[in-house]
């Protein structure tokens, strides 16, 4: 059935959509199952002293999902790595489907990134996969971390977060379970790992069994952090209503002294007309950023509301991700909104961003990142039909970004490690034809420039074997990205975003195989904010063939230009 954005039913962006759910034994024969608390790996929990009633066993539990994952990687891994569209600087899966970033942690030496991983795609059985990096740019695959093979997560190890603790790591995630009638149950589970963060071990029974009273089973994506000497867990939720149309999104809060026993504290209480009608809030992150203009520490809620309707140039993607800025009273959970909901990305593919624990306010004094680092999913739910699937992989992460808060608005910039991997060199534009010859036939490259747009916009064109694939316009009061000439346009062909008027613009363009990220708007004044950009456009841009030509034109003037090619 075809559905518009307005009448689309609620969707969990990790919803299980198996190709074949036919078990050897019929679902109905399993009945309801009562499990006594498990003696091994049991964490102290308010749930540990009582039996747990679960939905019928999933047919997946009869399969060796770990072996199926390994077999798929062995069978198709080489095809993935040989794909011209596979990135060199962005984290992408070894096979199958990647979506939400999970458990992002910096441990003082390495960056650990976990992610939603469906190696058997299009059979949507969701695992966690693990990757490690020393520079947020080159990622080493560390194997599958969590397999959905228990009664608490039989239909998917869904999103969650991670923290560094003495001796290792702790990860918190949502276990998704469905019965034969598609009724959902959710469990919030702790998994612990040693110093290498590899192969987390579930500590069962779950920390939380089902939603708090007054909320539906759409209750997921725990973000755990420390605040004022206490542990907090924020969860994306949906308020229950007498009818589905009365259900609305929410963010709920639990607190704990030991990260094992959690008490429901309440719901974040904020008023923002922009998101009032949304039916679900996913992937919440509650953090603090210091406003570089005022020096004031502000509370920031990053989340992904579902149900926003397009409004002019805004909210054009199937689902949105953004933030509000304000002041939170930690006692009564009242969040006074100073900056209403604002999208984090103006491009085509961006969802479920997560910040890296161990950066920003959670960083140690000697950490390389005084600023908070964020990574998003460079993809969208329900949009998996990419050209890359011919090589058995789909989706990737965004390039990591630092977040800067200035006068209540978040500005972003690529993490500084990009300068080490792709150090910039000065170049010029061919004054007759507008060519940037140093980028000829480059597959992974960056272009950084300062332009004068007082007499008109500057335009950048990227040509491939079939002609102009990508057009970028940078003007005094807007920026625009047009990918109509590429091989993938399911989410649209054009994105445009208003900018604070300025006759001089700074931009950063990062192209990595089939991904393009445009940072534009001009550097924020002030030492701490220098090099941060007002708008970011993220897009999957599948070019044709290996031929590339980059040209710059328009009525604007290029004042300074530098480049790098991998």
Give Cβ neighbours of residue 321 (< 8 Å, ≥ 6 apart): 283, 302, 303, 304, 343, 344, 345, 350, 351, 352, 353, 376
3-state DSSP call for residue 180? coil
320: closest CA among 285, 289, 280, 267?
Answer: 280
467: closest CA among 448, 445, 446, 483?
Answer: 483
Distance of alpha carbon 132 from alpha carbon 2, whole angstroms: 40
Strand partners, 157: 175
Distance of alpha carbon 566 from alpha carbon 562, whole angstroms: 14
Distance of alpha carbon 207 from alpha carbon 56, whole angstroms: 21
Contact 412, 298 (CB under 8 A): no
3-state DSSP call for residue 65? helix
For the residues of 432-477, what is the DSSP string, one character each?
Answer: TT-B-GGGTT-SEEEEEEEEE-TTS-EEEEEEETTEEEEEEEE-SS
DSSP H or E stretch at residue 329: strand 322-329
557: closest CA among 401, 450, 480, 463?
Answer: 450
φ, ψ (nearest 5 deg) of residue 227: -145, 125
> Six-digit token pair at 234?
């924020």
Distance of alpha carbon 401 from alpha carbon 347, whole angstroms: 15
Strand partners, 539: 516
Pairing between β-strand 515-520 and β-strand 334-343 as defined by DSSP bridges: unpaired
- Give catalytic residue positions: 100
Rg (CA), the chain: 23
Tokens 């049991």 correspond to: 42
Contact 93, 77 (CB under 8 A): no
Distance of alpha carbon 188 from alpha carbon 158, whole angstroms: 10
Distance of alpha carbon 546 from alpha carbon 548, whole angstroms: 6
């Amino acid at each position: 059935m075809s559905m518009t954005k307005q009448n689309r039913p609620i969707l969990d962006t990790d919803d299980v959509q198996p190709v074949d759910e036919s078990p050897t034994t019929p679902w109905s024969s399993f009945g309801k199952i009562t499990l006594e608390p498990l003696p091994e790996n049991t964490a102290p929990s308010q749930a540990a002293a009582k039996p747990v009633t679960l939905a019928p066993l999933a047919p997946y539990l009869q399969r060796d999902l770990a072996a199926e994952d390994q077999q798929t990687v062995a069978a198709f891994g080489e095809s993935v790595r040989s794909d011209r569209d596979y990135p060199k600087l962005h984290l992408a899966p070894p096979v199958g489907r990647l979506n939400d970033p999970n458990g992002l942690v910096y441990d003082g030496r390495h960056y650990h990134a976990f992610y939603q991983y469906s190696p058997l795609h299009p059979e949507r059985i969701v695992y966690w996969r693990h990757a490690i990096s020393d520079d947020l740019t080159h990622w080493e695959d560390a194997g599958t971390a969590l397999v959905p093979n228990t009664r608490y997560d039989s239909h998917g190890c869904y999103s969650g977060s991670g923290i560094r603790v003495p001796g290792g790591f702790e990860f918190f995630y949502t276990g998704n379970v469905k019965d034969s009638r598609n009724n959902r149950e959710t469990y919030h589970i702790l998994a612990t790992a040693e110093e290498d963060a590899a192969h987390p071990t579930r500590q069962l029974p779950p920390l939380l069994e089902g939603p708090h009273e007054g909320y539906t089973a759409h209750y997921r994506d725990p973000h755990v952090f420390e605040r004022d000497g206490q542990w907090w867990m924020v969860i994306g939720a949906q308020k229950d209503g007498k009818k589905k149309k009365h259900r609305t999104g929410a963010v709920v809060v639990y607190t704990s002294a030991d990260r094992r026993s959690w008490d429901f504290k309440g719901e974040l209480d904020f008023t923002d007309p922009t998101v009032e009608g949304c039916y679900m809030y996913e992937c919440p992150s509650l953090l603090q950023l210091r406003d570089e203009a005022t020096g004031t520490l502000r509370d920031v809620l990053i989340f992904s509301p579902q149900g926003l309707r397009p409004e002019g140039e805004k909210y054009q993607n199937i689902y949105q991700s953004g933030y509000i800025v304000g002041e939170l009273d930690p006692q009564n959970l009242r969040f006074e909104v100073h900056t209403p909901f604002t999208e984090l990305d103006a491009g085509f593919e961006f969802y479920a961003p997560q910040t890296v624990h161990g950066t920003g306010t959670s960083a140690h004094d000697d950490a390389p990142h005084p600023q908070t680092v964020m990574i998003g999913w460079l993809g969208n739910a329900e949009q998996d039909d990419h050209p890359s699937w011919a090589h058995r992989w789909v989706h990737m992460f965004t390039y990591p970004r630092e977040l800067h808060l200035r006068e209540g608005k978040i500005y972003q910039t690529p993490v500084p490690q990009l300068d080490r991997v792709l150090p910039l060199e000065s170049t010029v534009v061919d004054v007759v034809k507008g060519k940037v010859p140093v980028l000829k036939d480059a597959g992974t490259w960056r272009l950084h420039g300062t332009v004068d747009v007082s007499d008109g916009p500057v335009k950048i064109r990227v040509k491939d074997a079939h002609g102009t694939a990508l057009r970028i316009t940078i003007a005094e009061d807007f920026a625009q990205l047009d990918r109509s000439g590429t091989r993938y346009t399911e989410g649209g062909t054009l994105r445009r975003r208003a900018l604070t008027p300025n006759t001089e613009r700074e931009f950063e363009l990062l192209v990595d195989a089939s991904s393009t990220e445009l940072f534009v708007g001009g550097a924020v004044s002030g030492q701490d904010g220098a090099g941060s950009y007002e708008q970011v456009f993220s897009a999957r841009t599948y070019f044709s063939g290996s031929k590339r030509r980059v040209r710059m034109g328009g009525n604007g003037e290029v004042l300074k230009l530098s480049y790098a090619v991998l």
